[in-house]
Structure 1
């Protein structure tokens, strides 16, 4: 199911029933995931307020059947027992036809009709044997009359049940087909989202690397030509950045520690290139280093802060990357800069739009991204992650 089973968090009876039924749900899921979903939906309906009408109708049918049998000469206790047996059998058969409509209800109907015919014959033979053992002669006319009366009652009931069973099975097949179509649509949407995210990631990689790398190479070439001693350290940082970022962007998820290391290379290169005008600080809680993220998220935030806030600012500024976990398990990533600040008409560029999409695809509703002005000047970009429910 797409949503948690509400019985697991319902009243005491619902929770107890869910714990009892959970092993069966899991077994059904191993056999057929669609069957598990259908069984859970049926239970949710029957064991909530929505199902009170179904239970009331079932009880009225049972009492009506018992009253009819009692009115035809059967004792009250026997009438209730017989009506209960019939209703349970009917309910199980109809539920089976609904949950497993692919099991050809004709066979079930044929078995039921055959069993009913065998029961009539057995009743006739029993009457005959009983009369023979008691020394009475077989009254063929009375036996045929009893057989006719039984058939007149049982055959219409059997045919009505057969038509009902076929109708329920047909409705079950249609519901299962709609269920399959829905799951297929969801799978196609997920595949399309993954394809789009991968395409956007390649686009993001193509956008970040040339702009940043070409500027760094130009600086490096200038320093090499002048035999500037800063060329060697810059080349090492550039090599480390390219190696680290290329490895990251080739994986679906990466540990936060690896992403932070790529950001350190990036900031070291900027500090060298801009003669110290841009300074970077990194403060990451140790208990977050193993958390997994889609690759390139921090690089996107840092690159956006530098490009739109710090580089255009006269005199440069400070960029701070921080990450911390709250006592309730939530954690956040924050990129602060004291640059020019967020423009009034600012809109997401391709990188930030890509970041929002990939956060939504990877974390769903558990992730939230904000971009806002800081009261002390500059911009704050923040990602909040809520842990998965236990």
Structure 2
């Protein structure tokens, strides 16, 4: 029976809590609701500690009241002190968590409300005393009424001053916190703008570097009167149609980067008389993955310049793979291998700077030798 009653009581209180929560969601702002939820969790987490402190404070308060008014019973003194303590706790919690509403009003407004409440409470208390003693209200000692009203007046002034001070301090803290958050957001915005500006500058350095090398190749083929000039021009047109929209673009895809590399390598294959071979393996599911523009072509240029070109022939392989939440893009050549310290070239340094500007520390470029002749460059970025 007792267990059943306890279960029903718990269900009843849960229902009350749900209704209160629904009411709070409708009436409070998101920030106010978050603060109220924090208070609710704090009370639930330390409920028995708070309860023990309240009981101890009530008993001590009852003893103090009993010392002031020995004629009063201890039960009445304890109940009275408990009510006062509950009221004080509720008022402090209201000022602490409801500071937005408190701080909207001037001091005299809060003071007037507290004085009226204190006086009303005093009169109500004497009315209850009159009813319980069976004496008419007019028969009560007016000296006691006046003394009670004076105490209520002083308590109202003191309580309103303390609580309004709490509310104003909380408001100042909230304004300072909001100012800090706004300043941090502004710093982040300026940092992003700076990164974008740096990225544009680095990307602008790639464009002439790539285009001048390509134009030099075309000039050489035209000067030699190669019969493949028309085919090469077709590849150049295809390259420019793909590349020009990306010159000022902030992003590209692996598919477009593969098309650029294919057009570029076709041009070089013709120029080298067929001694250059290549393969590009970009799975269809990765072709639409975002990727920084002109990075793959920079690695291809690096492979041609430092690996294939010095020996007059060779092969370049480009492939992409997804491993977990990372995308790996690999450019390999079978040329002469690493002949200088890794990462000393301008093009590779440029790629690293652009990766840092876009992804921070979550992306990387690694250069290493292969098992056989040649070099392997791997760009790793978040998927």
Is the 1:109–1:165 Cα contact (8 Å) retained in structure 2? no
1:213-362 alignment, distance < 5 Å: 213-223=215-225, 228-312=226-310, 314-326=311-323, 328-362=324-358
Q: Contact 1:220/1:235 (CA < 8 Å) preserved in 2?
A: no
Q: Is the 8 A contact 2:217 2:268 kept in 1?
A: no
Q: Which moved more, 1:132-141 or 1:336-345?
A: 132-141
Distance in 2 between residues matched to 1:60 and 1:343, nearest whole Å: 78
> In the alignment, what sits opposite 1:5?
none
Segments of structure 1 that go 5 or more residues without pairing to the other structure are 1-19, 30-34
Aligned to 2:180: 178
Q: Quote the offset at 1:197 in angstroms.
A: 0.4
Contact residue 95 and residue 163 of structure 2 kept, 8 A = no
Deviation string, structure 1 residues 169-202 (Cα, Å, up to 9, x no partner): 2232222222221221111111011011012111
> 1:92 Cα shift?
4.4
Supply the distance in 1 between the matched residues of 2:201 and 2:29 (Cα, whole angstroms).
Answer: 37
How far 1:240 moved relative to its partner? 1.0
- Return the match for 1:149 from 140, 151, 159: 151
Assess, with a 3 A threshold, how the Cα gap between structure 1 residues 123 and 209 changes in structure 2: closer, same or farther: same
Residue in structure 2 matching 1:383, options 369, 375, 379? 379
For the 8 Å contact 1:278–1:316, the answer to whether it is kept is yes
**1:135: which partner in 2?**
136
Q: What corresponds to 1:200 in structure 2?
A: 202
Partners of 1:79 and 1:378 in 2: CA distance: 88
Cα deviation for residue 368 of structure 1 reads 2.6
Q: How does 1:22-61 map to 2 (within 5 A)?
A: none
How far off its partner does 1:216 sit? Answer: 1.6
Residues 383, 108 of structure 1: CA spacing in aligned structure 2 closer, same or farther, 3 A cutoff? farther
- CA drift at 1:56: 10
Alignment correspondent of 1:87: 89
TM-score of the pair, normalised by structure 2: 0.75
Matched, 1:113 2:111: yes
Aligned residue pairs: how many?
Answer: 343
Query: What RMSD over aligned residues (CA atoms) do the two structures have, in Å?
Result: 3.8
**Which residue number corresponds to residue 8 of structure 1?**
none
For 1:335, what is the secondary structure of its paired residue?
strand
Of 283-292 and 142-151, more deviation after overlay is shown by 142-151
Structure 2, unpaired ranges of 5+: 1-20, 66-73
Structure 1 position 235, deviation (Å):
1.0
- The verdict on how the C-alpha distance between 1:286 and 1:385 changes in structure 2, with shifts beyond 3 A counting, is same
